Structure 1
Amino acid sequence: MGRIETIAGPVVKCSGLPSVRMYEVVRVGNQQLIGEVIEVGNEEFTAQVYEETSGLAPGEPVISTGDSLSVELGPGLLGAIYDGIQRPLPKLQEMSGDFISRGLNVEGLDKEKKWTFKPVIKIGAKVSPGDIIGEVPETGIITSKIMIPVGVQGEVVEIVSEGEFTIVETICKVKDEHGDIHNVVMLQRTPVRVGRTFKDRESMDTPLLTGQRVIDTFMPQAKGGTGAIPGGFGTGKTVTLHQFAKWADAQVVVYVGCGERGNEMTEALEEWPHLKDPKSGRPLMERTVLIANTSNMPVAAREASIYVAATIAEYFRDQGFDVALMADSTSRWAEALREISGRLGQLPSEEGYPAYLGSRLAQFYERGGRVKTLATEERLGSITMCGAVSPPGGDFSEPVTQATLRIVKVFWALDKDLAARRFFPAINTLTSYSLYLTTLDKWYRKNLGDDWPGLVKESLA
């Protein structure tokens, strides 16, 4: 057991745990607040705490868990709303009311709810990581695929019949080449800092149709592509992302509000359950996962929230779905990096942001893409990343916007003058662009006509 030495906001320096590792989850203080190790020295280590640290005092205990910050993946994700570290907000409200208490330990998925599992393989089948062994009709829109986890490979020696099971009950037993038996359950736990494994990246030759004509016509997004929506206050970044989430032809939507204002997340929560999916007519929330880490929530959890969202998106991608991930906004996530970096005493770069701002943004956006997933059969899935950027005063020369532009391939620039004239979406077609026009050319010619690319160029001339 370690002890707290110093406290500076969400950053806590501790001692007494010589075997602690980077990015290990620790429990901090008498209330056992959730923290993550972000710096390790010879005798001391530093943790960022994902909950409010007021009232903590030097000398209070720090307990090592031995685990990395991970998310729970399985049936029950769709339609859920979480905080930045995958704690279900409805459960937190039940336990502490409208204002979240500290030290609450809530599991991401319900371990008692039973789901209808239908096997799709038989005893004697050879399986490897990523192979689908069964299906669960999770919502009226999405049927989740249950996959063999990484590290399990061999022959199926036992598989349950169709029936009702919890996500922690054994549904399959696999014997590996050494004769050891591995129990397979529907629940998977995956660390959030490292992307889930896949076989290979594929070309992005199909557009993600957003339902916004100006975007789909002049600066289209590809399935598996990356895009950014920078704009000043009031230009419509959040509303545009909401429109993407509602009408884009993605099969699953993961929407993360990292540092977003609470009223905007409230709008999504109140409106989306009443909206209908245009393809199925079912409620839109049945294909959506919401992660709400609003601006009044702890800043350290804001930093973790986009990694949680990316890992959940990768889980659905690995099942073969086309996923759209909306991050609103990456500027407020970068501000969380700046605050934590400053408290660590790291050398600042432009406007106080850490020198590694560009590499962290790249790590996030690189988790998108269209890939060939782990599986014996060929299965393709994609994650399309769309991030809002909030440059102060609408200044696109500030560090977060510039670092983002070096990474993403679609740039939807929102214009304050257009927004002032109530022209929405306020996308300036002269300053916006898409680098996917060439790769999508074949799709547009096949589906809209050989003259389509020429008509687009003529319209922009």
Structure 2
Amino acid sequence: MAGAMDRAKRDGKRAGENDKESQYGSVFSVSGPVVVGENMAGAAMYELVRVGHDELVGEIIRINGDKVTIQVYEETSGMQIGDPVLRTGKPLSVELGPGLLSNIYDGIQRPLRNIAEKSGSIYIPRGISTQALDREHEWDFKPLDSLKVGDHISGGDIFGSVFENSLIDDHKIMLGPRAMGTITHIADKGSYTVEDVVLETEFEGKKTEHTMMQIWPVRAPRPTDEKLETTNPLLTGQRVLDTLFPCVQGGTTAIPGAFGCGKTVISQAVSKFSNSDIIVYVGCFAKDTAVLMADGTEKPIQDVAIEDEVMGKDGCGRVVVGLPRGVETMYDVAAIGQHHNQAENGLLNFTCNASHKLVVCTPQHVRLTDHMLGQKMQTSVSYFVMGQERVSADRVISAVTLRMRSWQHELHGGHRAARVKAEAFKASIDKDEIFNWTIEAQHVAALNMHVRKATQQTISPVLHENHRFGDILSQHGLDPQLDARVAYLVGLWLGSGSSDEPALTIASNDAKTVERIDSLCSALGLVASVSDEHHRAKIARVQENVAHSAATADDQKLHRDLHIKIVADGGETSHNVFWTTLSENGFRGASAKEPKAVPSWVASEPFGVREAFVAGMVDSAGQVKASKDRAMRRNVDILTGHASVCDGLVRVARSLGIRVSASMQAVNAYAVFLSGGEVIQSMLSLCAVECNRAARPEGPVKRPGQSFNFTVTKTDQAPYYGITLADDTDHKFLLGNLALVHNCGERGNEMAEVLMEFPELTIEREGKEHPIMSRSTIIANTSNMPVAAREASIYTGITISEYFRDQGKNVSMMADSTSRWAEALREISGRLAEMPADSGYPAYLSAKLASFYERAGRAKCLGSPDRDGTVSIIGAVSPPGGDFSDPVTSATLGIVQVFWGLDKKLAQRKHFPSVNWNVSYSKYIRALQPWYEREESDFINYRSKAKEILQKEDELAEIVQLVGKSALGESEKVTLDVARLLKDDFLQQNGMSKYDRYCPFYKSTGMLRNFITYYDAAQKAVESGEMSWSKVREATDHEWHQLTQMKFEDPNGSGAQAEMEKKYKQLTDSITEKFRTLNE
């Protein structure tokens, strides 16, 4: 023993140079995770100890004289009698503060990601010690304005807040529950670590320093002011749970079921869709970044509000559900121009934070080469694959990488044979493949040189269509179908019109244009007055991809111009729809410097209107490069003297899917270059000038997104403004410059695949399934930790949950599974030689479970300001073979208030959620009654009737098996068929579909109302005896079909609730009217 003590003392880093010898004991015996230590006089129950030379984490669970029994949470193999045992004098505790939600912990709150970085291994080395909260990260602390030096403060009082992430944008900093005193110092607003002192108090002459971090023992519940009655439901989005067996926020639920019954699926649904205070994805940009809203307008990102809708690449809105703010190192993302004198107006620039995910695409690039390697000739094929790229010493990301496969000539039969093999391999690679992926801005510089060169960002066409031109015409009593004609005239005016009057200048030889103008004016009730103007040189021909413009001798010949003034039929410009359109809708600039402009709303007009607008500019100020075959790809150059027109034209062209760039030809002279295939041809088909016009493509025009090369430059720290989109979207939206961007900020969960599949969301986006991080902090036990470690993890999880509850949050904790936790108790109990109870479990199993579940509930939080929070516990139970008489299941059911019993037979029939409606129950119906009466006054009656139908159907099933359905009465036949309808089209839910993976409560109640309305009316119809059920069923076949289609209504999107409630109400009325007609 003396040798062991000496070794421990010499190991200063492990044991600590200041530890006294009296703090040490020694190992007396070892039995798996149970270690007995001696010479431990003065030790306390549940004291944290370090066992052995590796200082394994353990906890004292029994004291007998100077001997103690220690439960060790790490593998004890190799431990010997006499090894040191170090007392810490502290209980097993967790660190609580900012940074909790960005980590994945093991059962004793060691951050697994940090361990992987520190050890360089996917396994956890024995005895490794890491701090739960990052000590170096600085948080932006904001003290509470109402507190000042001299104020009294007590336990639980909030004295400041920090922005943590999108999940908690106001992480409240609270005084520890056991502290109190008078404030002698409070930190100013600024950046601090969790260890920096931000508050100092004095109590009875003793000063105490407080940081943003709290230490709390896991086995002690955090105190509250008082327990409150639960009043709000924990909505899961699963109809069978929310309507028949609801839980409350702050309630306790058990989910027992055999393997394969879908416990994890329900956990995933609760994790993603429950009404707890958790959000996952964030997008962050610099101030004044223009965002394209769902209605086609632009708004600075700092002005976007929650519940606003931004535009997605499919033209549909994306609801904003969060607006995080903060300060971070920023990155400038800029398009690489195609011209030496690239005009800034045409660039796609924006500034984002470091973790912003750029939406990029990388075309496949395959190259075959012969080269020398190690003095040996080889033939190699290089190509791109989606793989892993190390961006720093401690970070690996998913990215496109360069791969190379080589055939050494000497080993493969010479140069020709090696090349044949290489050619065959090259042919097997899909050369048309395009990798669509995302990468954080801060990691772009770490990409392979060839990958970086090939990687581009995307401009998305605007698929949303408004009708503002048509609305303008309607206001003047004109046909809105003439919108494309007005747009063409506006394009002509922007290209060659007078800024202070409704007049155009065109070449005299453009007879077709004159005819077109005259025809358009006639349709609009206008008159085109033509007169000669001055002579001028033709527009200089713009050369694409050069820094200057040049004109040929022919170009310099003078040509006579026509001055065309467009006036109202009576000659009064005040009633001129053309001039009103220009003057009142943003086409006339705000200053003399910029007398013309293209408003942003033009880019969201119907495609035909946008094309007519651009065609007008081509006819008045553009050139189309001649081509022998007009069906071939065409290029268009447009000159303008106004930067605002250049900028707007670029935007409109991009919205059509046209590849576009711009350059500055001279001071106040800009050139816009358009190129493309059928998108250009479709636009040119609307031109009036013969040499510009092209044949319109056959069939619908495809408008693919356009890619562009870009640079990423690191800049200084600056404020960022975020947009958080709902989980059921693709998390992509359009900026004002039509660049497609992705939410960012959450780095994802690299350790999830290593640890366990919890919880992954099977959401398909762009042909791929994307797993998404759970909205809860993950406490996971790895496979190489002993089973005893599970016993601590459940207390770690509930303590963290209580910490967030104390901030006024609604927290859901899912324990998967409590059966494994009970097995840990059984193993420890067996090694302690305790008297076993049923199935070998300890006699105190029920008491242990009760002490865990009783920490759930709704509570008035300690301290001020007044707030209340909830902790809901959902415990999955895995009884062997699905036997609900298992001791763990039986003990759990005696404690929890909600029982979601899973049925193996339902799961085998692919009926999910496989909740058995005959054995499941909820004891919260009375507590929720006031809430139900506010939402749907008749809901309780609908629920009771549905349960009654299902129960009767179960009783009738045995009779049907014996004598057949034909022996039943008409009323029983109605019950059987409606029960089948309820089971197949209400209780069953497709978690893989967009329309049914989440069912809001209003949809559930609307569906249930119609089912019960039909059932009651059908029973009344057959009770009269005048009609059989088969005739009633035949006469109401349409309504029956409508009942089966209700679940296919999609609750996603703006206005979905009002539209769905209207449809369901119409179906209710239709059912009532149909049966009234039958009864008559």
Please report the TM-score for the alignment, with normalisation by the length of structure 1: 0.93
Which deviates further from its counterpart, 6-15 or 291-300? 291-300
1:268 paired with 2:294, answer no
> More helix per residue: 1 or 2?
2
| Cα separation, 1, equivalents of 2:165 and 2:773 | 9
Aligned equivalent of 1:450: 937
Match of 2:781 among 280, 293, 315: 293
1:212 positional shift: 1.1
Does residue 394 (structure 1) correspond to residue 882 (structure 2)? The answer is yes
Verify the 8 A CA contact 1:140 1:286 in the aligned structure 2: no
The Cα offsets for residues 185-226 of structure 1, whole Å up to 9 and x where unpaired, read as: 101000001101111100011101111111001000101000
Q: Distance in 1 between matches of 2:802 and 2:762?
A: 24
Q: 2:84 aligns with which of 47, 58, 61?
A: 61
Select which of 781, 792, 803 maps to 1:315.
Answer: 803
C-alpha distance in structure 2 between counterparts of 1:305 and 1:221, whole Å = 24
CA distance in 1, matches of 2:247, 2:782: 27
Q: Say which of 234, 243, 253 aligns to 2:260.
A: 234
SS at match of 1:293: coil
CA deviation after TM superposition for structure 1 residue 48, in Å? 0.6
Provide Cα deviations, 1:269-327, integer angstroms capped at 9, x if missing partner: 6x469999xxxxxx975953111114542212111000000100000011110100000
| Residues 79 and 290 in structure 1, CA contact (< 8 A), matched pair in contact too | no
Equivalent residue runs for 1:58-457 within 5 Å = 58-96=81-119, 97-120=121-144, 121-123=146-148, 124-142=150-168, 143-176=170-203, 178-252=204-278, 266-268=756-758, 271=760, 285=773, 287-447=775-935, 449-457=936-944
Q: Cα distance, 1:252 vs. partner?
A: 4.6
Shift of the 272–296 alpha-carbon distance from structure 1 to 2, 3 Å rule, reads farther
**Any idea what the Cα deviations from partners look like across 1:413-450, whole Å, max 9, x if unmatched?**
00001100111110011110100011101101101x21
For residue 385 of structure 1, give the secondary structure of its aligned residue in structure 2.
strand
Stretches of structure 2 that go unaligned for 5 or more consecutive residues are 1-23, 280-751, 766-770, 949-1080
**Secondary structure at 2:101's aligned position in 1?**
coil
1:39 matched to 2:62? The reply is: yes
Deviation, structure 1 residue 78: 0.8
| Residues 420/357 of structure 1: CA separation in 2 closer, same or farther (3 Å cut) | same
The match for 2:494 is: none
Distance apart, 1:229 and its partner CA: 0.1
Residues 158 and 864 in structure 2, CA contact (< 8 A), matched pair in contact too: no
Q: In the aligned structure 2, how far is the partner of 1:101 from the partner of 1:457?
A: 56
1:52–1:298 Cα contact (<8 Å) kept: yes
Larger Rg: 2
Contact 1:246/1:284 (8 A) holds in 2: no
SS at match of 2:756: helix
Name the amino acid aligned to 1:119: P
SS, match of residue 59 in structure 2: strand
Given that 2:123 and 2:784 are in contact with CA atoms closer than 8 Å, whether structure 1 keeps it comes out as: no
CA–CA distance in structure 2, aligned partners of residues 432 and 194 of structure 1: 32
Higher mean C-alpha deviation, range 400-409 or range 238-247 = 238-247
Offset from partner CA, 1:117-141 (integer Å, 9 cap, x none): 1111431332111010011111123
SS at match of 1:168: coil
Q: Is the 8 A contact 1:131 1:375 kept in 2?
A: yes
Corresponding letter in the other structure for 2:237: G
User: What is the CA–CA distance in structure 2 between the aligned matches of 1:286 and 1:170, rounded to whole Å?
Assistant: 33
Q: For 1:152 and 1:263, locate their aligned partners in 2 and report how far apart those are by CA, in whole Å.
A: 41
Residues 273 and 230 of structure 1, relative CA distance in 2, 3 Å threshold:
closer
1:14-72 deviation digits (Å, cap 9, x = unpaired): 10111111100111111111110001001311101000011111111111111100000
Which SS does the other structure have where 2:862 is aligned? coil
**Are the counterparts in 2 of residues 119 and 161 from structure 1 also a CA contact under 8 Å?**
yes
Gaps of 5+ in 1: 254-261, 277-282
**How much has 1:377 moved relative to structure 2?**
3.3
Task: State the superposition RMSD in angstroms.
Answer: 2.0
Number of positions where the alignment pairs a residue of Structure 1 with one of Structure 2 = 444
8 A Cα contact 2:897 2:923, kept in partner: yes
Whole-Å separation in 2 of the counterparts to 1:397 and 1:171: 53
Any idea what SS the aligned residue of 1:157 has? strand
TM-score of the superposed pair, with normalisation by structure 2: 0.40
Alignment partners' CA distance in 1, 2:827 and 2:228 = 37
Report the secondary structure of 2:43's partner residue: coil
* CA distance in 1: counterparts of 2:46 and 2:764, whole angstroms: 39
What is the distance in 1 between the residues matched to 2:877 and 2:129?
A: 32
Letter in 1 for 2:947: L
Distance change in 2, residues 1:387/1:146 (3 Å): same
CA contact (8 A) 1:252 1:324 kept: no
- CA displacement at 1:175 relative to structure 2: 2.3
CA distance in 2, matches of 1:304, 1:19: 23
Contact 2:810 2:869 in 1 (8 A): yes
Q: Cα 1:31–1:99, aligned 2, differ >3 Å: closer, same or farther?
A: same
SS in 1 for 2:799: helix
The answer to whether the Cα contact below 8 Å between 1:78 and 1:286 also exists between their aligned partners in 2 is no
Q: Secondary structure at the match of 1:441?
A: helix
1:378 shift after superposition:
2.2
Q: Quick check: 1:76–1:138 contact (8 Å CA) kept in 2?
A: yes
Separation in 2 of the partners of 1:229 and 1:221? 12
Instruction: Provide the secondary structure at the position in 2 that maps to 1:54.
Output: coil
